[in-house]
Amino acid sequence: MLPVITIARQYGSGGHEVGEKLAQKLGIPFYDKALIAMAAKQSGLSEEVFANADEKATSSLLYSMVMGSGYGFGSRIPGLTEMPINDKLFLIQSDIIKKAAGEGPCVIIGRCADYILREFPHCLNVFIHADKASRVQRIISKELCEEKKAPDFITKKDKQRANYYNFYSNNRWDDLSNYDFTLDTSKFTIDQAVELLEDAARKLDV
């Protein structure tokens, strides 16, 4: 069986596009923004509220509460309704991620998925990065930011993702030892990156 593939990514590296195309080529589900919709449906809160909190950490959630429980803890932790929205989203998404992985191969973007699934037996954990110049050009070409603001915007987004990962796990987001496969998309096209990861995933298809 194909593995569950988790993809952490620097902002502007094309990680989302790689993950989406990889899922299509492998014929497996793809989870990114869909996790927000699923979390909103499970909690009864609006998608807009969760979207504003997505991949942003707070400082209020006790580590023992987050990671001290087993699979499926998300919506069943006492006091969930009183938690800050960021923490609530993390817990519910964790529950959804574990359920999705339990149902079969899929591609999951960000959201500490590699850490949440650290005890899951069959994962390929990927980190996608690129040099800053390449990332600046990518976000400018996609009209995600003004050219003069792009370098600082990338730094801000990477810091946000790192803070989120570092807060909700006991690892560092940029510690490459957390990952099985790292890929520099300033050296490869998006399609080449997809081919490399497809080959790796099929080699793990046991």
What is the CATH number for 71?
3.40.50.300
Asked if residue 159 is part of any domain, the answer here is yes
> pLDDT digit string (tens) for 76-89?
344 555 667 788 88
| Domain ranges, residue 16 | 10-198
Predicted confidence at residue 206, as pLDDT, reads 60
The pLDDT value recorded for residue 139 is 95
Query: How many angstroms separate the CA atoms of 133 and 12, rounded?
Result: 10
Residue 4 lies in a domain: no
Note the pLDDT of residue 76: 39
The answer to whether residue 119 sits within a structural domain is: yes
Do the domain assignments include residue 79?
Answer: yes
Rounded to 5 degrees, φ, ψ at 49 are -60, -45
Q: Does residue 1 belong to any structural domain of this protein?
A: no
Domain total of the chain? 1
Please tell me the pTM assigned to this model. 0.84
Q: Is residue 3 part of a domain?
A: no
From 12, 99, 86, 94, select the one nearest 53 (Cα to Cα): 86
Q: What is the DSSP letter of 27?
A: T
30-82 pLDDT tens trace = 999 888 788 778 877 677 767 776 667 764 444 334 444 443 333 334 455 56
Residue ranges, the chain, pLDDT below 70:
45, 49, 53-55, 58-83, 205-206
Looking at the domain assignment, is residue 62 inside a domain? yes
Q: What is residue 80's predicted lDDT score, i.e. its pLDDT?
A: 52
Does residue 72 sit within a domain?
A: yes
Inter-residue contact 40 to 96 (CB < 8 Å): no
